[in-house]
């Protein structure tokens, strides 16, 4: 185990040095290809002759020193960032540790108080259960409910149909006018609209089967004050029981 740990440390050490050398090389290339090249070109242009190799070597060494310095500055800045992140992590750990200690102290205090009186514990549990149920009832979303009233009478709306039936669809929560009507016998004709709610759409109803129609009203919505009125025309004496539901 010790040998394996030592070998891992040696690998990490070598890897870190290669990373540093690579960083130095990157800065050296940037300096030589940027600033040094510009300086060489300027000097050659002014002097009208190539630069001596000694000057090139001197500037190269200078750029290498600068590259080492820049690489060291990068490492130094990275260490400062890591130290700051480590300090922030330690602060966060200390904060949550203090919170845990405070919570443990509160729990111990609560347990000691509960152990002093078993009757009070039972009463407290009953009160908490009732309170929880009330909170759940308050926070529970209200369910969508529909109320449908059916009115059958002689037709004075559809001229070609002897009878017509009206369904008044009311709901406790606003909902789009998407509804399906299925009767025992075929439906002759149908129209639907939102009462006191806006325009009547000519293509708001569609026949799926002779006894099954779909209502689709894009706007406005069905509300308590604006129910949907579905009018069904037919010639036979009765179309039987009609079932309705959302689409």
Q: What is the DSSP string of 171-210?
A: ESS-EEEEEEEEESS---EEEEEETTSSPPPTT-EEEEET
Long-range contacts of 204-210 (CB under 8 A, 24+ apart): 204/177, 210/186
pLDDT of residue 79: 80
Give the span between the Cα atoms of 169 and 190, in whole angstroms: 15
DSSP 17-45: HHHHHHHHHHHHHHHIIIIIHHHHHHHHH
pLDDT of residue 182: 93
231: left (phi over 0), alpha (psi -120 to 50) or beta: beta
Contacts of 201 (CB under 8 A, 6+ apart): 193, 217, 218
Model confidence at 16: pLDDT above 70:
no
Helices (H), the chain: 2-31, 37-47, 53-116, 118-139
In this structure, of 150-164, 178-192, 227-241, the range with the lowest mean pLDDT score is 150-164
Angle at which helices 37-47 and 53-116 cross, to 10°: 160
Q: Between 242 and 39, where is the model more confident?
A: 242
Give the span between the Cα atoms of 47 and 238, in whole angstroms: 113
pLDDT of residue 181: 92
Q: Between 229 and 72, where is the model more confident?
A: 229
Model confidence at 159: pLDDT above 70:
no
Band (pLDDT 50/70/90 cuts) for residue 33 is low
pLDDT of residue 74: 76
Model confidence at 70: pLDDT above 70:
yes
Give the span between the Cα atoms of 81 and 87, in whole angstroms: 10
The domain locations on the chain are: 2-107, 146-246
Band (pLDDT 50/70/90 cuts) for residue 32 is low
Q: Between 64 and 87, where is the model more confident?
A: 87
Band (pLDDT 50/70/90 cuts) for residue 81 is confident
Using a 10 angstrom Cβ sphere, with 0-12 exposed, 13-18 middle and 19 or more buried, the burial of residue 227 is buried
pLDDT of residue 13: 52
Query: Which residue, 149, 151, 196, 155, is CA-closest to 171?
Result: 149
CATH 1.10.3470 describes domain 146-246: no
Give the span between the Cα atoms of 65 and 59, in whole angstroms: 10
126: Cα within 13 Å, side-chain hemisphere: 6
Contacts of 66 (CB under 8 A, 6+ apart): 27, 31
Q: Between 223 and 142, where is the model more confident?
A: 223
Model confidence at 49: pLDDT above 80:
no
């Amino acid at each position: 185990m010790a040998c394996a740990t030592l070998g891992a440390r040696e690998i990490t050490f070598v890897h870190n040095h290669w990373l540093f050398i690579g960083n130095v090389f990157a800065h050296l290339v940037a300096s030589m290809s940027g600033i040094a090249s510009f300086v060489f070109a300027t000097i050659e242009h002014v002097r009208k002759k190539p630069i001596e190799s000694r000057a090139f070597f001197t500037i190269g060494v200078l750029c290498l020193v600068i590259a080492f310095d820049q690489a060291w500055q990068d490492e130094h800045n990275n260490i400062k960032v890591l130290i700051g992140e480590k300090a922030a992590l330690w602060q966060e750990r200390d904060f949550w540790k203090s919170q845990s200690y405070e919570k443990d102290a509160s729990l111990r205090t609560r347990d000691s108080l509960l152990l002093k009186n078993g009757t009070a514990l039972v009463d407290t549990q009953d009160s908490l259960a009732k309170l929880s149920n009330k909170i759940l009832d308050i926070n529970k979303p209200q369910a969508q409910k529909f109320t449908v009233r059916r009115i059958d009478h002689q037709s004075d709306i559809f001229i070609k149909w002897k009878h017509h039936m009206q369904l008044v669809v009311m709901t406790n929560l606003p909902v789009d006018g998407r509804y399906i009507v299925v009767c025992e016998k075929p439906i002759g004709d149908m129209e639907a609209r939102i009462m006191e709610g806006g325009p009547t759409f000519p293509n708001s109803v569609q026949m799926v089967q002779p006894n099954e129609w779909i209502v689709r009203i894009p706007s406005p919505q069905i509300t308590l004050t604006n129910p949907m009125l579905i009018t069904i025309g037919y010639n036979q004496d009765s179309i039987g029981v009609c079932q309705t539901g959302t689409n």
